[in-house]
Structure 1
Amino acid sequence: MSSNGFEGRSVVVTGAGSGIGRAAALRFAAEGANVLVADLNQETAHETVTAVRTAGGIARAVVGDLSEQAVVDEIVATATSAYGGLDVLVNNAGIMDRMSALADTEDAEWERVIRVNLTAPFMLTRAALPHMLDRGRGAIVFTASEAALRGSAAGTAYTAAKHGIVGLTKSLAVMYRNNGIRANAIAPGATSTNIRVDAEAGAHGPSVVGPHVALAGRVADASEQAAAILFLASDAAGNINGTVLPVDNGWSAI
C-alpha cells in the first residue's frame, strides 16, 4: 500500500500531456494509482501514457477539448468504467492570456481563456461529483496560479479566471465538506512548463505587469508543483479543505 493512500485509486489529471500535469500523472502512477490522462494534444497525451506504462504504472488517455460536454462525459465514463470509480480529480489544464490590460482585451481572448481555465474545470467537476458522492469520498485539486492571489501576475482574462478557480475551490469545500469531498488548489509561481506568453510588445498590460513578475524569483520544476498536488490529494491532507497553497518560493509573501 502506498504511503499516500493512492494504491488502486482512480485519478484523472487534465493537461497531463506536459508540464505540471504530466509530472503529476507520473507521480500518481508511481504511487500505485490508475491514471486517466486528459489533454487536448493527442501526441503528448499518449507520450505521458507511454511514460507511465514504461515505468510499470497504469494509464490511459482521453483526448479532446475539455470545454466540450462530450469530452467531459468521455473522461468520466472512461475513468469510472476502466478503474471502477473516480477518487481524485486534478483540474490542471490551462492556457495563458496575452497579459492584456482590460481595455486591450478582445472578446476572443477573454472568452477562450475563461472557457479553458474556468468553465472547463467547472464542467468536469460537475460531471465527476456524483461519482464521488456515491462513494462518500473524493479529492479535487485545482491548479490556480500566483495570478489568483494578486492582480499583477498576468493579464485581465487569466487573472479573472484564476480568481474564479479560487472561488470555485472554496465553494466546493463548503458545499460538500460533510459528504466526504475535499477541494483544494495550488497557486504556482514561476514554473518551467511549455506554456508561453504571446504578449504584444509595448502593450500597456505587459509593461505594467512585467516588473511585478520579475519578483517571482527562482523558476520551479514541474515536479515541485506535482508534489504539492499529490499532498493535497492524499490521505495525509485529510483535514485540509478549501485551501489555496502557494507553491512559489515566497513570491506571495512579498
Structure 2
Amino acid sequence: MSAVLVAGADGGIGRACVEAVEASGTSAYGVDLSGGIDITTPGGAEKALAEAQARHGRIAGVVHAVGMSGRRLGDGGVAECTDEAWHEVHRVNHESVFRLLRAAIPALPEGGSIVVIGSALGTSIDDDFRTVAYASAKGALIPLIRTAAREAAPRGVRVNLVSAGLVATPMSLRARTSASVQARLPSLMPLGASPCRPEEIAQTVLWLLSPQSGRTTGAVIPVDGGWHLR
C-alpha cells in the first residue's frame, strides 16, 4: 500500500489536496497543528513521515500546503514590516519547506514526488498585496525546490512547486473582499477574472504526484488565472 502525506491538511488548499488524492483511489495522511504535528518545528517533519509510514507503510508522495499570512503580526511594506512578522512568516512559509524536504527526500522510494504550494506573489509585486515577508518567503521557495529537485533526481524522486494565484480560502478572505481587489480581478486574473478554487490547485498537485508527470521536476507551475502574465 502507498499513500500521500499532506502537511497543512486543515487549510483550504491542503484539505482539497487530501480530498483529491483520496478521490483518485490513493490513501492520504493529513497532518496539521490540530492533530498535534507541527512540521515548522525541529523534528516535526520527521514525526509526520514516521506516523504516515506507520499507518500506511509506503509513502510515495508528499504535499507541503502549510502557510500563513503575517498581516496580523505587522507584515506590509519594507519600511513597516515588523521583526515578528518577518521571522514568523519565513519560519512557517519557507523554513518549514526546507524541513519537510530534508526529511522526505531520503524517505521516498524511486518514483516518489514532492509538491510544494507557492504563491504568485513570490514572483510579482502588487500594491494591494504588499506583504514583503510573505512575498519574499514564497519567492525563496523557487531556488529551494530547484536545489532539492537536483539532489533528489538521482534517487528518482521529483520536487515541484505550484504557484497559486488568489485562491478562495479563509486565509485570503481580506484580500478577496477588498473593493480595490475585486475591481481589479479582470486584470489580475484575466482567465476567468475570479479567485481560483482550492480544487483547481489540488488537481494540478494530483497530476504532479502521478506517474503522468514522471519527467517533470524542478518546475514552477502557475495556477493563477493568468496572474503571472501581467
Normalising by the residue count of structure 2, what TM-score does the alignment of the two structures yield? 0.86
The CA deviation at 1:211 is 9.0
Supply the AA of the counterpart residue of 1:85: R
Among 54, 69, 83, the alignment partner of 2:42 is 69
Among 87, 90, 94, the alignment partner of 1:118 is 94
Number of matched residues?
218
What is the aligned partner in structure 2 of residue 193 from structure 1? 169
Among 60, 80, 104, the alignment partner of 1:128 is 104
Which aligned pairs between 1:1-254 and structure 2 lie closer than 5 A? 8-40=1-33, 42=34, 62-98=35-71, 100-132=76-108, 135-152=109-126, 153-196=129-172, 215-216=188-189, 217-254=193-230
The CA deviation at 1:71 is 2.6
Please list every run of at least 4 consecutive aligned residues from structure 1 whose deviation after the TM superposition is greater than 4 angstroms: 196-199, 209-214
Structure 2: runs of 5+ lacking an equivalent: none
Are the aligned partners of 2:3 and 2:60 in contact in 1 as well (CA < 8 Å)? yes
Are the aligned partners of 1:97 and 1:197 in contact in 2 as well (CA < 8 Å)? no
Are the aligned partners of 1:139 and 1:182 in contact in 2 as well (CA < 8 Å)? yes
The CA deviation at 1:212 is 7.6
The CA deviation at 1:137 is 3.0
Are the aligned partners of 1:9 and 1:32 in contact in 2 as well (CA < 8 Å)? no
Separation of aligned partners in 2, 1:212 and 1:166: 27
Structure 1: runs of 5+ lacking an equivalent: 1-7, 43-61, 200-205
Matched residue of 2:79: which SS?
helix
Normalising by the residue count of structure 1, what TM-score does the alignment of the two structures yield? 0.79
C-alpha RMSD of the superposition: 2.4
Deviations 1:34-65 (A, max 9, x none): 2111112x2xxxxxxxxxxxxxxxxxxx4332
Separation of aligned partners in 1, 2:85 and 2:173: 13
Change (3 A) 1:130 1:192: same
Supply the AA of the counterpart residue of 2:47: E
Are the aligned partners of 1:86 and 1:128 in contact in 2 as well (CA < 8 Å)? no
Separation of aligned partners in 1, 2:174 and 2:16: 24
The CA deviation at 1:68 is 1.5
Are the aligned partners of 2:37 and 2:47 in contact in 1 as well (CA < 8 Å)? no
